Structure 1
Amino acid sequence: MCADTPETDPKYPVFLPETAFPMRAGLPAREPGWLKRWEEIGVYDRLREKKGRKPFTLHDGPPYANGHLHIGHALNKILKDFIVRSQQMLGHDARYVPGWDCHGLPIEWKIEEQYRAKGLNKDDVDVVAFRQECRKFAEGWVDIQREEFKRLGVAGNWADPYLTMDFHAEAVIAEEFMKFLMNGTLYQGSKPVMWSPVEKTALAEAEVEYHDHTSHMVWVRFKVRAKRNQVPSSRDGDQPFEESQANKLAQGIEESKASVVIWTTTPWTIPQNRAVAYSEAFPYDLFEVLAVADGSLAVVGEKLILGRKLAEDVFRAAKVTDWRVVERVDASTLAELVAAHPYRGIKDADGMPVIEWNYDVPMLPGDHVTDDAGTGFVHTAPSHGDDDYQLGLKFGLKMTYNVEADGSYRADLPLFAGQHIITPEGKEGPANVSNIKALHGAGALFAKGKLKHSYPHSWRSKAPVIYRNTPQWFAAIDAKIEDGKGAYGDTIRARALHSINHLVQFTPVSGRNRLHSMIEARPDWVLSRQRAWGVPLTCFTKKGARPTDADFLLLNAEVNKRIAAAFEAEGADVWYVQGFKEKVLQGIVDPSDYEQVFDVLDVWFDSGSTHAFVLRDRADGTEDGLADLYLEGTDQHRGWFHSSMLQACGTKGRAPYRGVLTHGFTLDEKGMKMSKSLGNTVAPQQVIDEYGADILRLWVATSDYTVDLRIGKEILKGVADSYRRLRNTMRYILGNLAGFTEAERLETAEMPELEQWVLHRLAELDTEVRKGYAAYDFQGVFQKLFTFCTVDLSSVYFDIRKDVLYCDAPESTRRRAARTVLDILFHRLTSWLAPILVFTMEEVWLERFPQDGSSIHLTDFPDTPKDWLNEPLAAKWAQVRLARRVVTAALEVQRSAKVIGASLEAAPVVHVEDAAMLAALKSVDFAQVCITSAIQVTADPAPAEAFRLPEQPGVAVVFELAEGEKCARCWQILPDVGTHKHAQTCARCDEALG
């Protein structure tokens, strides 16, 4: 039918599309102009002026202000923008206050790096001056990142974001901490925590990442004997002591000079050993070594106790070639044994005896002991592992303080004084090798080797970390809280688990189980860090008091008020100013009786408290201080989601959010983790410079964010191709709406069936799009809209109606109906796609409505009349489309064979077996539907040579050429061409030309 080509005869004009909307988007150059326009017309503020709308608040998880954005940042912020924009267009008042985490080690570390580059020491600088440098550094990166986020098309209150280093924020963080102080959950304890010797501070689990690491592993003998208090004796003078069977066996083991063997990958912890743990759940045996290979450290004839299942692996590692089982050993017998520390009786370099380790090592039952690996016995150093610590608590084991903050042994530790486990540069120190040599010299080393395994590292310095016993401040998550907020439990853990199970909706739902399992099993929260840049632990301890004493902590509401007021006025730096303690304590208690704590809060407590100073305190916060949604990557189950949950449950009594959405990580096209060293990173700015931000946004929309997402050149090319197809759809609509006025509009009932079918599809889509956006299913929304545009519209409706739009008279019902539907399509597609393609849909909108202050982003999703839904009509047109597919395929065969050049040269005969389909085809202009000049539909049996599609039985097509002459205007071949006023035209075109 009519075509938009140069071949159109100028004597017979058609209504060609008219639009300035270009085929080439030029997004990289043009997008900044739209950003500037939105700022000038105040789009975000104008949306806030819409009254009577239900608020929807997505609370922004704060990124660190310490570097340019990476592709993960872009993914996160774009997803947030999809939600905020779609919720706004669904009719909410969707608020978005961006924020930044400004305290903590990442920023402090950057300043220290600058100091080290200049040969300076941070500790030689006044702490307030150092903190001000950290503040200045953070301010600079906030400004840079803000512009980078805005360039992604992310809408929000950029003029007034929240910063954790704002004075009010620091005051509130201190207030939230002091609630833990006052409600009894804060305590100082000495227990092992993840410790970075490089950064000299405790780390939270969220600050640790795991990398492959090669560790020393050793098998160590602990000589055992029977417990001395079980020696046979008489009782009451006349009652003989009946020795238990277990004790008899223990006596026998002692006489055999046997050892238990432990296995560890941390030889440096041997000096801190206080017990050996065994299991009551599986059997042990006493073995005798019968033969060894060359190089074995085992001794023929020695006796060893090992877990039965693990013995063969242990002997293989020790190059023991033959052995025998002497007797079975059960848990009751092990309970009657006590071991000697491997260094008992060791001598120093001068040959003098060392008495440091001349103590008994108890054999203790432990639920954490397994027979999956090792020996069946676990070396226990309560100061250097959580399982060890818990066993120590249960049985009263002594804690050790042998390891200093820099990862070295204490200066007076015999044999190993001052040796580093991890050096200040993050490398392995001599401690492991020195212990292996000492064990060998003491005759305790049974075997040694090396093991490559996943090991915790600091995610900042990338150096290995250790478990180290050190006094820290903790929040007790199982302590009973008397705060009047116990509707969901009276402990932090109980409140958190109730929130997860009953108050929070998770997307995807798997996030619920992940967070639940973490909260259910987690230990107390380590709140303190031995750093300088952060909010201090605003508390005081009584001199001379022990942490377990009732008066150890100063609990005074007036003191807390003074601290908060000072932070509000001057910021947290004031804590470090000389005389501050005296100022806030004066007139309440004697300042000289108290010590001021100078540790800073875990930065996760800062970000976990943001609900208080953002949601609760800001004018654009929420009435109940709760967010509708928190959205971050899956790692934040142990990060921000986790800390926010614990913090709010301690102060509010419940989770600070109603919903949690998590997304995966970004990988390269091959599914590999991005790395600068591999050269496979994709920077957001790189994509923007080449394609534009809308292509990056479309990549997010086309991806399943619930799993890890891949991105790379080929993937982006595919996204750009999808974008071009959508752009062409919008250009077609714009071009064919030129000059459209309300006078042309038709009501649904006045329209042909084809237009009514399109409206039916729009009604279906309206429901699907709204549900999809409400469920945060952006991939689903985009796929439905893209399929609609490329299949229902481009391949069917636009293809069929091109002839009507180009060739029908302006007043014809068909043309008016088509343009009415195009106007309806324009409003729905631009609004439905606006949350995703923010720049392009604004461009499309302004092409029709260029007046000042106009923006697609100031509109809502249009209401769609329910009476557009017409299932019977849809069922009929499904039949029509099936038959059309067979005709189109049949004509393509003729086109490929060069029999015809265009479908208008054909007048096929369509044989239809199904009566309902036959009736449907006869009730429509099937020739127009198939874009042929004529068509015949018949129930007659099809000849054998007729064209058929296997997937559509019952429809066959016999090709015939159209009869008549070609109309110079619409190109249809019809018998009446040349018989009208306008030569070489058909009746329809002759009438349209007037």
Structure 2
Amino acid sequence: MCADTTEPTDAPAETIDYKDTLNLPRTEFPMRAGLPKREPEWLERWQRLAVYDRLRAQEGRTPYVLHDGPPYANGNLHIGHALNKILKDMVVRSHQMMGFDARYVPGWDCHGLPIEWKIEEQYRAKGQDKDDVDTVAFRQECRRFAEAWVDVQRDEFKRLGITGAWDRPYLTMDFHAERVIAEEFQKFLMNGTLYQGSKPVMWSPVEQTALAEAEVEYHEKESPTIWVKFAAEGEGDLAGAYVVIWTTTPWTIPSNKAVVYGADIAYGLYEVTGTPDECWADVGDRYLLADDLAADVMTRARLEPDQWRRVRDVTAEELSALSLRHPLAGAEGSEGEWDELRDFRAADFVTDTEGTGFVHCAPSHGMEEYDLYRGLGMLEQVLTYNVMDDGSFRASLPFFGGKRILTDKGKEGDANKAVIDKLAEVGGLLARGRIKHSYPHSWRSKAPVIYRNTPQWFAAIDRPVGDGQDANGTTIRERALTCIDQVTWTPASGRNRLHSMMEARPDWVLSRQRAWGVPLTCFVKKGALPTDPDFLLKSEKVNARVLEAFEAEGADAWYAENAKARFLGNDADPDAYDQVFDVLDVWFDSGSTHAFVLRDREDGAPDGIADLYLEGTDQHRGWFHSSMLQSVGTTGRAPYRGVLTHGFTLDEKGMKMSKSLGNIIAPQKVVDQYGADILRLWVAQTDYTADQRIGPEILKGTADAYRRLRNTMRFLLGSLADVTEADRTDPADMPELERWVLHRLAELDAFVRERYAAHDFQAAFQAVFTFATVDLSAFYFDVRKDALYCDGDTPRRRAARTVLDLLFHRLTTWLAPVLVFTMEEVWLERYPGEDSSVHLTDFPDTPAEWRDAALAAKWSTIRRTRRAVTGALEIARRDKVIGASLEAAPIVHVPEDVAAVLRDVSFDDLCITSGIEVTTDPAPPEAHRIEGASDIGVVFARAEGQKCQRCWKILPDVGTHPHPGVCARCEAALQDRGA
């Protein structure tokens, strides 16, 4: 019976209700999914069945370990979390169903500033100061806060259908984890890469801690900008001229120690010949400027083109003979702070694209300047300590003591204004303005950050690790760069991104000046310098005592009363050493997870190396980066074999989601409205390697695709309602149409496995979806409905039902990693039982002998010809010539080679017509043709005979059989039924 089953207008005369004699589909599988209500029931069932643990108990499987990058235990999940976890789940489930022991241990990052910040806010709301609270009590509040959010997020992740060891996740605040993090830190201590240094680091005055690059985001900020005059001292006509610098950080001028220029830049000496009423320049003033920037500088100084002139060229050799005076030198009340002459030399990083062609250097507040003077061995002469933890100037700094760069709220303080005003007062200012530019901000507090020179603890990445003997390199950087090329990157561009970052990165800042974290478990000798060989205490026995305490009590043991004496024991004099109370960067915590998850857990990785790390692209500078640094520094190799990265989630217009725009799509809302399977299907349909879009219209389209798939599965269930082993047919005995379906299954099986193995879910799903909706629903099912509904116990019907059974097992399992709830529903509809679950099965093996390239080529010709016929019938239906395709018996004009192919098949059944004539005669001009098949012409003709009241075909023999009003095929079926 065709899909186009228009009811006959005249009722049959006989008393038999032929509808009751048909093999119509029977299933209780509903068309309306009701996912939001029903999905929690399946979650409870999986937990009751202990599906994850039962899979782990399967023996003889090769482990496959996706190591979870820990989300932060703070706040409800956002759509990026959902994308990430669903992708991970599809990796785990697909590999499990391909025969692996696919393990997934979810985890959480629990230490760090965001949680500490929340607890501080609670104290501030009560009018309390965090510094007045016992450290251990404060840390315990942080722990309780993290525990609460772990429970919330765990439930939200589970609601998305994510499988894993949810009852035993890893937490970086677990005692064993804290012990291992400390142990990993001690390896840096003992292998010689740990050192204390003073250098500019990203510093948050609001949060009063150093930040890693991964903790910084860039936003537009308006800053004051000034042009400042440094008087030149030397011989000749350049003496007394001013070298002009430009800066967007006026607060760094008090820390200036030098000015640098470009050796290859063209400079000139310029003289002021006239001035307007309001101007900081005087007639006769001479300025040294880069020629390409001189006109802009003079304009900024409010000088007209006829009020200044170029005197002459100035060479790099002439510049090198000069020294400079700080503009505040000799100022009344300066107490000699700036009287020393400033260094003046060439530097590679100076350009003449903006500014003045000269760069003011405060090496305590800029990395390029710091690196320059470190290379010169002059750091002691140029480093200052003018800025305190809260972003204020040290109290003893003349003119500016106590002035704030930023307020406690992250707003601009009074430091910039004070510096600008003082420069104007002493005649050191040439011009001023405002500029909008991209500026680093803390991603937590959203406040601007500064570069600040402060003592910190570092892991040296260019210093030999231990004895330096390692196949991958002697230093952390060398090892990392080597190991990056041993990893499979998806997409491949991820390799280049991390490689370039690793090539250019500075030493790793390990320390943070906070309380909630794993402390740097080390001791320093009182009175010793960081460069002294005995500055750091290196004692295996001391280290062992610390680790033993952490294993039993957690890192709080470090802050307990008499902790120093306890840990040092008889191996060092407590009075001779200071205990370090900085905490480790949380990226060190998460970078160490390979040790306490992959290495230490029974369900970790056998060799301690994950098969896959999977996170967003921002983790090239975050977790992928810190994990590589940490692992090569302690084990000499990468912690992962593969890395997969995904983009960010945007709204339907490609805009970043934000509360202010009102375009946030919360995963909880999608789940409540559509169900988690719709969200999972959205993930499967996206190209995760780029940024993805999501919104109401996109989700509607996803839901429509879901309904089409659900229709396909419902048809399979209905058609297989009473199938038995007696229906089983060997492929060799099947009609060509069924063998063509088996060929497509064999092709698709190889493709789906290949794409799942490559984590290409979009391609895997699209292939299955296209097969289900185009090859099956729109073709095979449409054709075979007649045989399935109307045939008796014929070989054709048995073959079709065998194929439907094979289709069922492959479609449900292929789609199970994506539609975890729906495929469970489909599976249980056919295989009910307390222990039944599609997620306890594997992808079925598909025989290679099902492939038949010659048959596929033949059926490509058949389907091309069929499209020409259905196109002609659609026109007849549109023009209301016919109502259903069974009313037609068209004439098909084809070449001889096509005719030879069509003779072997029931082409009228394939076209769902009551008859068809295939001829090699030339097609008349009015014949219907389609693009891509111009050699085929179709002429419409009506079927002759009467309509069979059972199958609705119009055939000449209807009415000539014992059962009135039926055709010969239906008569035989009725005889089989004993009717």
Instruction: Give the match for residue 186 of structure 1.
Output: 194
- CA apart distance, 1:436: 1.1
- CA apart distance, 1:7: 4.4
- Tell me, in whole angstroms, the C-alpha distance in 2 between the residues paired with 1:337 and 1:918: 96
Instruction: Give the match for residue 498 of structure 1.
Output: 482
- CA apart distance, 1:393: 1.5
Instruction: Give the match for residue 836 of structure 1.
Output: 818
Among 10, 13, 17, the alignment partner of 1:11 is 17
- CA apart distance, 1:742: 1.4
User: 3-state DSSP class of the match of 1:320?
Assistant: coil
Tell me, yes or no, if the aligned pair for 1:827 and 1:862 is still in contact at 8 Å. Answer: yes
- CA apart distance, 1:685: 0.7
User: 3-state DSSP class of the match of 2:941?
Assistant: coil
Q: Deviations over 1:371-420 (max 9, x none)?
A: 22211111100100101111222331421111000010011111111010
- Tell me, in whole angstroms, the C-alpha distance in 1 between the residues paired with 2:75 and 2:328: 49
Q: Deviations over 1:587-616 (max 9, x none)?
A: 111111000000000010000000000000
Instruction: Give the match for residue 123 of structure 1.
Output: 131
Instruction: Give the match for residue 243 of structure 1.
Output: none
Tell me, yes or no, if the aligned pair for 1:225 and 1:251 is still in contact at 8 Å. Answer: no
- Tell me, in whole angstroms, the C-alpha distance in 1 between the residues paired with 2:882 and 2:270: 92
User: 3-state DSSP class of the match of 2:854?
Assistant: helix
- Tell me, in whole angstroms, the C-alpha distance in 2 between the residues paired with 1:65 and 1:707: 26
- Tell me, in whole angstroms, the C-alpha distance in 2 between the residues paired with 1:606 and 1:838: 33
Tell me, yes or no, if the aligned pair for 1:539 and 1:596 is still in contact at 8 Å. Answer: yes
Instruction: Give the match for residue 328 of structure 1.
Output: 313
User: 3-state DSSP class of the match of 2:827?
Assistant: helix
Instruction: Give the match for residue 805 of structure 2.
Output: 823
User: 3-state DSSP class of the match of 2:778?
Assistant: helix
Instruction: Give the match for residue 232 of structure 1.
Output: none
User: 3-state DSSP class of the match of 1:360?
Assistant: coil
1:971-986 alignment, distance < 5 Å = 971-986=952-967
User: 3-state DSSP class of the match of 1:953?
Assistant: strand
- CA apart distance, 1:300: 3.3
The one-letter code of the counterpart of 1:338 is S
> Is it true that 1:99 corresponds to 2:125 in the alignment?
no
Structure 1: tracts of 5 or more residues without a match: 227-249
- Tell me, in whole angstroms, the C-alpha distance in 1 between the residues paired with 2:274 and 2:869: 86
User: 3-state DSSP class of the match of 1:562?
Assistant: helix
Among 434, 438, 445, the alignment partner of 1:450 is 434
The one-letter code of the counterpart of 2:826 is V
- Tell me, in whole angstroms, the C-alpha distance in 2 between the residues paired with 1:907 and 1:483: 87
User: 3-state DSSP class of the match of 2:744?
Assistant: helix
Q: Deviations over 1:174-199 (max 9, x none)?
A: 00000000000000001110000111
Tell me, yes or no, if the aligned pair for 1:2 and 1:807 is still in contact at 8 Å. Answer: no
Q: Deviations over 1:111-130 (max 9, x none)?
A: 11111111111111000000
- Tell me, in whole angstroms, the C-alpha distance in 1 between the residues paired with 2:625 and 2:921: 71
User: 3-state DSSP class of the match of 2:949?
Assistant: coil
Q: Deviations over 1:646-697 (max 9, x none)?
A: 1111101111111111001111111111111211101111000000000000
- Tell me, in whole angstroms, the C-alpha distance in 2 between the residues paired with 1:908 and 1:2: 16
Instruction: Give the match for residue 925 of structure 1.
Output: 906
Among 159, 166, 169, the alignment partner of 1:161 is 169
> Is it true that 1:171 corresponds to 2:171 in the alignment?
no
Instruction: Give the match for residue 351 of structure 2.
Output: 370
- CA apart distance, 1:44: 0.5
Which TM-score applies when normalising by structure 1?
Answer: 0.96
Among 724, 733, 742, the alignment partner of 2:707 is 724
Instruction: Give the match for residue 146 of structure 2.
Output: 138
- CA apart distance, 1:981: 1.1
Instruction: Give the match for residue 381 of structure 1.
Output: 362
- CA apart distance, 1:478: 0.5
Among 786, 799, 802, the alignment partner of 1:803 is 786
Instruction: Give the match for residue 390 of structure 2.
Output: 406
Q: Deviations over 1:46-78 (max 9, x none)?
A: 111111111100000001111111111000000
Tell me, yes or no, if the aligned pair for 2:2 and 2:912 is still in contact at 8 Å. Answer: no
Instruction: Give the match for residue 853 of structure 1.
Output: 835
User: 3-state DSSP class of the match of 1:369?
Assistant: coil
User: 3-state DSSP class of the match of 1:688?
Assistant: helix
1:833-982 alignment, distance < 5 Å = 833-913=815-895, 915-982=896-963
Tell me, yes or no, if the aligned pair for 2:139 and 2:515 is still in contact at 8 Å. Answer: yes
User: 3-state DSSP class of the match of 1:134?
Assistant: helix
- Tell me, in whole angstroms, the C-alpha distance in 2 between the residues paired with 1:3 and 1:325: 89
- Tell me, in whole angstroms, the C-alpha distance in 2 between the residues paired with 1:562 and 1:281: 59
Instruction: Give the match for residue 230 of structure 1.
Output: none
Instruction: Give the match for residue 32 of structure 2.
Output: 24
- CA apart distance, 1:301: 2.9
User: 3-state DSSP class of the match of 1:96?
Assistant: strand
- CA apart distance, 1:31: 0.3
- Tell me, in whole angstroms, the C-alpha distance in 1 between the residues paired with 2:152 and 2:95: 28
User: 3-state DSSP class of the match of 2:933?
Assistant: coil
Tell me, yes or no, if the aligned pair for 1:65 and 1:142 is still in contact at 8 Å. Answer: yes
- CA apart distance, 1:4: 9.3
Among 560, 566, 570, the alignment partner of 1:577 is 560
- CA apart distance, 1:484: 6.8
User: 3-state DSSP class of the match of 2:339?
Assistant: coil
Question: Cα–Cα, structure 1 residues 174 and 764, in superposed 2: closer, same or farther, change >3 Å?
Answer: same
Question: Cα–Cα, structure 1 residues 14 and 291, in superposed 2: closer, same or farther, change >3 Å?
Answer: farther
- Tell me, in whole angstroms, the C-alpha distance in 2 between the residues paired with 1:439 and 1:391: 27
Aligned-residue RMSD, C-alpha: 1.3
The one-letter code of the counterpart of 1:857 is H
Question: Cα–Cα, structure 1 residues 937 and 515, in superposed 2: closer, same or farther, change >3 Å?
Answer: same
Instruction: Give the match for residue 763 of structure 1.
Output: 746
Q: Deviations over 1:311-352 (max 9, x none)?
A: 23222322222233222122222111111111112224xxxx
Instruction: Give the match for residue 290 of structure 2.
Output: 307
Instruction: Give the match for residue 86 of structure 2.
Output: 78
Tell me, yes or no, if the aligned pair for 2:889 and 2:915 is still in contact at 8 Å. Answer: yes
Question: Cα–Cα, structure 1 residues 802 and 483, in superposed 2: closer, same or farther, change >3 Å?
Answer: farther
Instruction: Give the match for residue 237 of structure 1.
Output: none
Among 373, 390, 398, the alignment partner of 2:371 is 390
User: 3-state DSSP class of the match of 2:225?
Assistant: strand
The one-letter code of the counterpart of 2:879 is A
Which TM-score applies when normalising by structure 2?
Answer: 0.97
Among 594, 617, 630, the alignment partner of 1:634 is 617
- Tell me, in whole angstroms, the C-alpha distance in 2 between the residues paired with 1:711 and 1:603: 31
Alignment coverage as a number of residue pairs: 962
- Tell me, in whole angstroms, the C-alpha distance in 2 between the residues paired with 1:297 and 1:200: 38
User: 3-state DSSP class of the match of 1:209?
Assistant: strand
Instruction: Give the match for residue 454 of structure 2.
Output: 470
- Tell me, in whole angstroms, the C-alpha distance in 2 between the residues paired with 1:281 and 1:657: 46
Question: Cα–Cα, structure 1 residues 663 and 292, in superposed 2: closer, same or farther, change >3 Å?
Answer: farther
Among 559, 572, 596, the alignment partner of 2:579 is 596
- CA apart distance, 1:291: 4.4
- Tell me, in whole angstroms, the C-alpha distance in 1 between the residues paired with 2:930 and 2:606: 62
1:28-43 alignment, distance < 5 Å = 28-43=36-51
- CA apart distance, 1:483: 5.1
> Is it true that 1:651 corresponds to 2:634 in the alignment?
yes
The one-letter code of the counterpart of 1:360 is L
- Tell me, in whole angstroms, the C-alpha distance in 1 between the residues paired with 2:298 and 2:871: 74
Among 415, 429, 432, the alignment partner of 2:413 is 429
- Tell me, in whole angstroms, the C-alpha distance in 2 between the residues paired with 1:294 and 1:763: 87
Tell me which moved more, 948-957 or 889-898: 948-957
The one-letter code of the counterpart of 1:876 is K
The one-letter code of the counterpart of 2:385 is Y
Among 382, 386, 402, the alignment partner of 1:418 is 402
- Tell me, in whole angstroms, the C-alpha distance in 2 between the residues paired with 1:606 and 1:623: 22
- CA apart distance, 1:623: 2.0
The one-letter code of the counterpart of 1:11 is D
- Tell me, in whole angstroms, the C-alpha distance in 2 between the residues paired with 1:575 and 1:7: 83
Q: Deviations over 1:957-984 (max 9, x none)?
A: 1110100000001110000000011110
- Tell me, in whole angstroms, the C-alpha distance in 2 between the residues paired with 1:535 and 1:512: 31
- CA apart distance, 1:3: 5.8
- Tell me, in whole angstroms, the C-alpha distance in 2 between the residues paired with 1:314 and 1:174: 54
> Is it true that 1:610 corresponds to 2:578 in the alignment?
no
